[in-house]
Structure 1
Amino acid sequence: MSDVFTTRILNVTTGTDETVADLTHDCEQFLQQAARDRDGLLNIFVPHATAGIAILETGAGSDSDLLAALHTLLPADDRWQHRHGTPGHGRDHVLPALIPPHATLPVIAGRLELGTWQSVCLVDTNKDNPDRRVRLSFLG
């Protein structure tokens, strides 16, 4: 059984454009206080029906490539039955089926066990809701 369970809410403003927001630094800061050199698991969860959590490289074009791929897979047009908000908003409600609203990552000696080019990212295609909550939870 675990000795430690700690959780924190991040408030993230994504703006009015589709975005891939890098949360890696926020996760690392949280673990500095919560994990304190312990091994365990970090769970990242976004409690929204139109956003997801992805592990990917950022800054080298992969984040833009992801958004472009989502446009191909989930076009923002009038094909969606879910119709409210901006045109094509129904696609935003399908996003979490492709990019889940959660990720669980290993923490070793208090640090995220990510690959060299991996980052923890919030993926938000919903232009109608710029304010997001992200829950970080450490179990160790």
Structure 2
Amino acid sequence: MAHPDRAADIRQAYEQIQQLSRRITDRSRRLGEPLTFVEHSLLRFIAATPGTRAIDIAAAFSLNRSTVSRQVASLAGMGLVTELEHDAGVPGRGRILALTGEGEAKLALAAQAQQESLRERLAGWSDDEVHAFAAALARYNQPD
């Protein structure tokens, strides 16, 4: 069935995405998670992208390199990320980022807390509804 006001639906989707982002941030604070939303996002990217450098994060997140450098320095200062020497055979490659053991543990703890909260919010949904929701989010988040 077609909806008569696509522009209104897009506005509503935008507002819902904003609310979701605020809820995730608020939930992190309430749950006393060890990571902020930004820290979680960066650690997750580093964990999922072996060999990544700060410049790669900046490109992937469309952020200024200096912003990423400050965030990475903060994560390193907390003992969550380490900078490995670049490959000597590749001049100018930059330092490769990797999670420390503590970084891996905190990322796992944060993911567990967020997933538990999501399970609770979806408790009243049918398996088909959860599947459709996950599929819609995956489709929405596909690269352009």
TM range (shorter): under 0.3
Larger radius of gyration: 2
